[in-house]
Amino acid sequence: MGEDERLWEVEDQRRRLDELTAREGESKEAPLRRDVRSLGRLLGEVLKEQAGATLFDAVEELRGLTTGQREAARAGDADGRADLMARAEALVRGLNVTESYHLTKAFAIYFELTNLAETNHRKRRRRAAEVTGGEPQAGTFRGTLQRMRDAGITLDGALEFLRRIEVVPVFTAHPTEVARRTVLFKRGRIAEELERLDRLPLSDRRARESAERISAEITALWQTDEVRRRQPTVRDEIKMGLDYYPACLVATLPEVYEEMADAFRDVYGCTLRAGEQPRVVRFGSWIGGDRDGNPFVTPNCTRDALLMAREVILDFYAAAVAELHERLSASAKQARVSDALVAALETYQETFPQARAKADARAAQELYRRFLTFVLRRLRASREPGAGAGGYARAAEFADDLRRLRDSVAAGEGERVARLLLDPLLRQVGTFGFHLHTLDVRQHARVHTRAVEELARGAQIEGGETGGRGDGETERQGNGEKRGQGDEETGRRGDGETEAGELLSPSPRLPVSPSSTLPHAPSPETAAGS
């Protein structure tokens, strides 16, 4: 295969490694150029297969003309730039509707692929910085702490600043976000293949396999409608927002704190244990609670949003506990088990006799696995609406069980196991709880005003401070935010009783279960963290 026919195949593994780890010069950009070039070639092949050579030729001609006019502009060649732009415009004007659509779609996919390549390159550059050392990259934890130390800020000062930081990314169903879930998943699979292609040594067979998978995803993108054929429902928007959590956010969150701990060790020479790091990030959402911005959001939508978020995080925890069940195979004959865990296990065996048979199927000495059988049973019970048969009432109870398990594993000469298997899950529970994220319930100020007025009338309050709020600050803010909007835009129905009823309807309450017969009943302080 000639050089011009190669995609990601490697001729010189050492040279490829040097490119992937280069900190400066042309070499550091070579992987990005290779990705963009290879993705473009794969897209070209797909275009010829799916729409014919005529479309491919039009795409290549237009790309060449626009690239040429950009280079002419850089060179100060105004006449040459104008000529190239005129030719590009003539090409586009000569297309019919179908050809225009196909041309637009081809370039849209090309730019999507380029964005994926650039994102992968940013991650590649961060890995290169970690491998080669030297000055940390600006904006990283290590780089920021280095600047703080150079400015004279002590370790205690840096930790105090950290305790005062809370980052809260908030999801919203923005009207300009039109990408479909299926398209997002396809992009994600292409991104995964690009990362695999950076793993050396890379054989020609693996390179060709990844190229084939990427080609298949590009073909699927071409054959997929870019936008939905129907307007997405509020439930669709909720599901789309939740899709990001399990793999992208929940699973990777512990890595953020691990990177932070590594940065403190490198810069300040301080080892931070998992429990010593303050929580610096949590998540929020408007989707399903934004009654101000979306007239189709009802109290039932808000209830669904809360329940669906709860199901997502409980399913994640159940999978994590199932994995712990497989990996924590220590025997009480080989490692000491704490009295606290033994006592909790005995209580569970008495409380859940039906689950005991499954736990007893394990070897009698595998106490951690037996204990986790009951933990998993309680998690699953917590997921069922209205469940009261032993489910966890709040996340703090689940965290207590995990800490009891972690303390026992560590005390039995298994600190490394506890740190690697249990600390990440404890961090996730401390961040996401059983709610996953906070949900903002937003309502237009006019609706609040009408509801308050209705309450005032119901209580036979005439005038006074409460009754005089109709033109107060709350409504003025609402008018300022929504100036010029009519009833349809604000979602008002023109029915004061309906508005007040929706505003004042009970907040969705999720099922809890009694904990009086279980190994622990959380204190008010513990429960506050749920």
- Please write the tens of the pLDDT for every residue from 400-457: 999 999 999 999 999 999 999 999 999 999 999 999 999 998 888 888 888 888 888 8
By the 8 A CB rule, do 176 and 152 touch?
A: no
Average pLDDT of span 326-346: 96
Mean pLDDT value of segment 304-313: 96
Query: What confidence score (pLDDT) does residue 175 get?
Result: 62
Task: Give the start-to-end residue ranges of the domains of the chain.
Answer: 3-137+180-229, 274-439+512-527, 445-504
Structure tokens at 412: 């039995």
Average of per-residue pLDDT across 204-224: 97
Give the number of other Cβ atoms within 10 Å of residue 413's Cβ: 12
Confidence of residue 272 (pLDDT cuts 50, 70, 90): confident
Q: In what order do the strands lie in the sheet with 284-285?
A: 170-171, 284-285, 438-439
pLDDT per position as a tens digit, 101-117: 999 999 999 999 999 99
Contact between 126 and 82 under an 8 Å Cβ cutoff? The reply is no
Higher-pLDDT residue of 194, 485: 194
What pLDDT shows up at residue 85?
96
3-state secondary structure at position 224:
coil
Cα separation values, 2 from 9, 11, 39, 341, Å: 11, 11, 18, 64
- Cα separation of 370 and 363, whole Å? 9
- Give the tens place of pLDDT for each residue, 455-513: 888 876 555 554 444 444 333 333 333 333 333 333 333 333 344 445 445 444 444 44
E-strand stretches of 81-186? 170-171
DSSP characters over 288-332? TTBTTT-TT--HHHHHHHHHHHHHHHHHHHHHHHHHHHHH----T
- Retrieve residue 74's tokens: 């850089």
Share of the chain above pLDDT 70, in %: 84
Alpha-helical regions (H) of 52-96: 53-74, 78-93
Mean pLDDT of 328-338: 95
Question: What is residue 263's predicted lDDT score, i.e. its pLDDT?
Answer: 93
Instruction: With residue 285 as reference, give the H or E element that holds it.
Output: strand 284-285
Query: 62: how many CB neighbours lie within 10 A of its CB?
Result: 18
Would you call 166 helix, strand, or coil by DSSP?
coil
**pLDDT (0 to 100) of residue 264:** 94
Give dist(CA 333, CA 337) in Å, integer.
9
Q: In this model, does residue 253 exceed pLDDT 60?
A: yes
The pLDDT confidence band at residue 388, using thresholds 50, 70 and 90, is low
Q: What mean pLDDT value characterizes the chain?
A: 85
Q: How many helices (H) and strands (E) does the chain have?
A: 24, 3
Give the predicted TM-score (pTM) of the model: 0.79
Helices (H), 328-438: 339-351, 353-360, 367-383, 395-409, 415-421, 423-432
pLDDT digit string, tens, across residues 44-78: 999 999 999 999 999 999 999 999 999 999 999 99
Q: pLDDT-based confidence at 4, cuts 50/70/90?
A: low
Name the maximum alpha-carbon separation found in the chain.
88
Convert the pLDDT of each residue in 10-39 to its tens digit: 999 999 999 999 888 888 999 999 999 999
CA 368 to each of CA 196, 300, 353, 405, 472: distance values in angstroms, whole numbers, following the listed order: 36, 41, 18, 7, 60
Task: Output 301 or 360, whichever has higher pLDDT.
Answer: 301
Question: Given this model, what pLDDT does residue 178 score?
Answer: 63
Identify the H or E element spanning 284: strand 284-285
Query: What does the pLDDT read at residue 279?
Result: 92
Tell me, rounded to whole angstroms, the distance of Cα 509 from its chain centroid.
25
